[in-house]
């Protein structure tokens, strides 16, 4: 969650088929996104390695995070909260909070790239901007995601 700062529900519903690891892209289909639009997320080197590792250790399932009782179902809704609680972060950090952390750090580091950051967060443009500006900023988002992963790893 930290590396990709997705909406928790989007991550929970993600399937292996949503990844193109050769191209380093997570392709979120409309049915799992809040915006109901496809959203392509560039993956950092670190994220790709973690996803490959998860695939190696996980039991067979269509889901990146399968349910505990059925590998054919996604993880249940409250599991990410329970995981944070078990790590001692109850009432200190929530799954959606990783988006806040990423947004704040990225805006501090790249104050002139707010459009790119908003696109990385999969936020919807408002007003006239939404009508005319269809830019994806994919290359810039790729650089941004790699910077973020490097930053997160530098903290450990």
In tens, the pLDDT along 24-79 reads 999 999 999 999 999 999 999 999 999 999 999 987 899 999 988 888 888 888 88
Q: Residue 85: inside a domain, yes or no?
A: yes
> Catalytic residue among 40, 123, 125, 137, which?
123
**CATH value at residue 26:** 1.10.443
Q: Residue 2: inside a domain, yes or no?
A: no
Active-site residue 123, yes or no? Answer: yes
> Catalytic residue among 7, 12, 24, 113, which?
7
Torsion angles phi and psi, residue 17, rounded to 5: -65, -10
Q: Residue 3: inside a domain, yes or no?
A: no
Token reading at 88: 């001692």
Rg (C-alpha) for the chain, rounded Å, is: 16
Instruction: Inform me whether the pLDDT recorded for 131 exceeds 70.
Output: no
Report the alpha-carbon distance of residue 49 to residue 100 in Å, rounded. Answer: 24
Active-site residue 7, yes or no? Answer: yes
Number of structural domains in the chain? 1
DSSP, res 113: G
Q: What is the mean pLDDT of the chain?
A: 90
Q: Which domain holds residue 15?
A: 8-154
Q: Long-range contact list for 106-112, CB < 8 A, 24+ apart?
A: 106/144, 106/148, 109/147, 109/151, 110/144, 110/147
> Catalytic residue among 59, 68, 132, 134, which?
132
Q: Residue 49: inside a domain, yes or no?
A: yes
Q: Residue 75: inside a domain, yes or no?
A: yes
Active-site residue 12, yes or no? Answer: no
Q: Does the pTM of the predicted model rise above 0.75?
A: yes
Active-site residue 39, yes or no? Answer: no
Q: How confident is the model at residue 133 (pLDDT cuts 50, 70, 90)?
A: low
> Catalytic residue among 99, 113, 119, 141, which?
99
Q: Residue 107: inside a domain, yes or no?
A: yes
Q: Residue 1: inside a domain, yes or no?
A: no
Q: Which residue has the higher pLDDT, 81 or 155?
A: 155
């Amino acid at each position: 969650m930290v590396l990709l700062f997705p909406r928790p529900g989007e991550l929970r519903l993600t399937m292996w088929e949503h990844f193109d690891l050769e191209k380093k892209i997570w392709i979120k289909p409309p049915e799992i996104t809040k915006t109901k639009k496809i959203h392509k997320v560039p993956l950092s080197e670190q994220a790709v390695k973690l996803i490959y590792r998860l695939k190696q250790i996980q039991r067979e399932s269509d889901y990146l995070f399968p349910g505990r009782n059925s590998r054919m179902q996604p993880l249940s809704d409250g599991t990410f909260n329970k995981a944070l609680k078990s790590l001692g972060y109850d009432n200190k950090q929530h799954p959606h909070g990783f988006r806040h952390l990423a947004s704040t750090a990225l805006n501090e580091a790249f104050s002139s790239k707010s459009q790119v950051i908003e696109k990385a967060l999969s936020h919807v443009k408002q007003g006239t901007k939404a009508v005319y500006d269809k830019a994806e900023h994919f290359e810039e988002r790729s650089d941004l995601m790699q910077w973020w992963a490097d930053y997160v790893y530098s903290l450990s």
